[in-house]
Chain A
Amino acid sequence: ETGVTQSPTHLIKTRGQQVTLRCSSQSGHNTVSWYQQALGQGPQFIFQYYREEENGRGNFPPRFSGLQFPNYSSELNVNALELDDSALYLCASSLGIGQGARGYTFGSGTRLTVV
């Protein structure tokens, strides 16, 4: 069974630009969550998608948006990039919302640097 894959692995963008990060969930998983992990910090919840609908959102501004596709893969879009957006972005998948109690399967992340 394949795990969670994220692309790209590294990215450098200029302040004010827009970026799209991609995530393929583990086979059979229909729920995808996105986290932002700043250097030296724990992951902070951005939002979660379940069956193509947003199921919850953390304390992030609207310029952070997402999508989930029928095959359960997902995108995270960030507009008007700021220097503080520099972080490791983690995608995690699970089977169903309630199955999050079993723990998530994480990808290796996308390292975004904003200059």
Chain B
Amino acid sequence: AQSVTQLGSHVSVSEGALVLLRCNYSSSVPPYLFWYVQYPNQGLQLLLKYTTGATLVKGINGFEAEFKKSETSFHLTKPSAHMSDAAEYFCAVSGPPGGSYIPTFGRGTSLIVHP
């Protein structure tokens, strides 16, 4: 079964600093990968996704992620953190074609941004 592991349940950065949230996946073939964000008392919002093609994926709010097959990773980055980025971030995996398209989520990483 496919799975994702998010390293670090909490990540703390200063405003303006680089954000790096780590995600590693387990799959025998390249899957579809997603990052979602969840603000307090809200549902999940899709930040970005990788299906096929370019391995560097740009999403909303200045976030991007790079699919690295050799490292089975899909880490999320943002050059400069804003206070409004404080939220819970979830990595998810699904696919590939012929497999289940139902996403499996990681346990989440809470991003804390200090002034």
Which residues of A come within 8 Å of B, CB atoms? 4, 33, 35, 40-45, 48, 56, 90, 92, 97-109, 111
Contacts and interface: CB of A to CB of B under 8 A. Distances in A.
9 contacts: A33-B102, A48-B102, A98-B101, A100-B102, A101-B32, A101-B94, A103-B46, A108-B42, A109-B43
A102 B57 CA distance: 13
Contacts of A111: 41
Interface in B49-103: 49, 51, 90, 94-95, 97, 100-103
Question: Interface residues of B toward A: which range?
Answer: 20 to 34
Nearest to A42: B105
Contacts of A106: 36, 43-45
Interface of A is mostly: mixed
Nearest to B100: A56
A48 to B, nearest CB: 6
A30 to B, nearest CB: 14
B71 to A, nearest CB: 21
B44 A43 contact: yes
A99 B102 CA distance: 10
